[in-house]
Chains A and B, each alone.
Chain A
């Protein structure tokens, strides 16, 4: 069989090869712009870094709120003498700041627990970041070792 058409598309066209070219041509390379930055490798690291930043911001805000509440003396916490019978006008007209003082002990317990959780989350995120970085380095070095030159 003359395979000139298969070789360099010269000579008499082979109908089966032409049909295959037509069908398989749908899978042909479609030109795309070249990107010379490794997008895929940095996505996990970016995500981890972003979560750490969010955690730090949350921690910073929490510490800030603690400072404000810590300046309120514990002795200032006082219940009205008999609120059920005759609540004084001052209690009824409490400002948000006064209500905050009444709740401060309970808040502190919760805040301490939140702080411990936050510290744990930060340690965990840091460990994960280190682990991801090590994995990326290992993969990269083994990939480069497998390539020619």
Chain B
């Protein structure tokens, strides 16, 4: 029932930080890695990259053309490496880099001219990949909060608790976004198949 109420009251909740007890168990490792990276340990930062690159990739994939995603992932981690000293709470590395990725996607659209990506992506010779590109387009048409959580769940293969732990959102918000996003996606898929 609590979930049902949440659906009505706060369907697009995404700015609500998760309480400490809802964060994923990997936080102590994350804190140690941030501390190591701040002390100049590049390998420590490399491990943070390994942990969080799929998250950043998913956030970008939900917002920018696929061809740009890999370069942007690198740019974002390079920026994070340079600005790591500005991160006040080492435990908040995930939410911090997720926010950088979202801002970078907004920045990308502000700077670049409007391009039509569909042609390039749908002309792929691989049928599975072109199907994936079609479905990704449907997901991108969903509201922002739904599309991000759905991409992280269906493309990157993260579970709901993992998404909550790494983005800093509450588990309840992620669950709501997944449930409602999936419902909308099913409707769109049914419509597409009916055409």
Contacts and interface: CB of A to CB of B under 8 A. Distances in A.
A26 B129 contact: yes
Contacts of B131: 23
A38 B81 CA distance: 12
A25 B136 CA distance: 11
Interface string A11-37: 000001100110111111101101111
Interface string B141-176: 000000000010111110111000000000000010
Given A36-B78, A149-B83, A28 B159 contact: no
A40 B71 contact: yes
Nearest to A33: B46
Interface stretch (A76-84, A105-113, A140-148): A140-148
B132 A27 contact: yes
Interface residues on B, range: 35 or more
Nearest to A39: B74
A35 B78 CA distance: 8
B interface secondary structure, majority: helix
Interface in B58-101: 58, 61, 66, 70-71, 73-75, 77-79, 81, 83, 86-88, 96, 99-100
A24 B107 contact: no
Interface in A129-149: 143, 146-149
B96 A34 contact: no
A3 B178 contact: yes
A3, A21, A29, A148 — most chain B CB neighbours (10 Å)? A29
A9 B159 contact: yes
Contact of B135 (A6, A8, A17, A24): A24
Given A26-B128, A147-B83, A6 B66 contact: no
Given A6-B178, A32-B70, A146-B107, A24 B136 contact: yes
A23 B178 CA distance: 18
Given A24-B136, A32-B70, A148 B99 contact: yes
Nearest to B54: A29
B187 interface: no
Given A23-B131, A34-B46, A34-B74, A28 B156 contact: yes
Interface string B21-63: 0000000000000000000001001100110011001100100
A23 B78 contact: no
12 contacts: A7-B160, A8-B161, A16-B189, A29-B58, A29-B156, A31-B50, A36-B77, A40-B71, A40-B75, A148-B99, A149-B83, A149-B96
Given A23-B132, A147-B79, 8 more contacts: A24-B155, A26-B128, A27-B132, A29-B58, A34-B53, A35-B74, A146-B106, A148-B96
Interface of B: 42, 45-46, 49-50, 53-54, 57-58, 61, 66, 70-71, 73-75, 77-79, 81, 83, 86-88, 96, 99-100, 103-104, 106-107, 126, 128-129, 131-133, 135-136, 151, 153-157, 159-161, 175, 178-179, 182, 185-186, 189
Interface of A: 3, 6-9, 16-17, 20-21, 23-29, 31-32, 34-38, 40, 143, 146-149
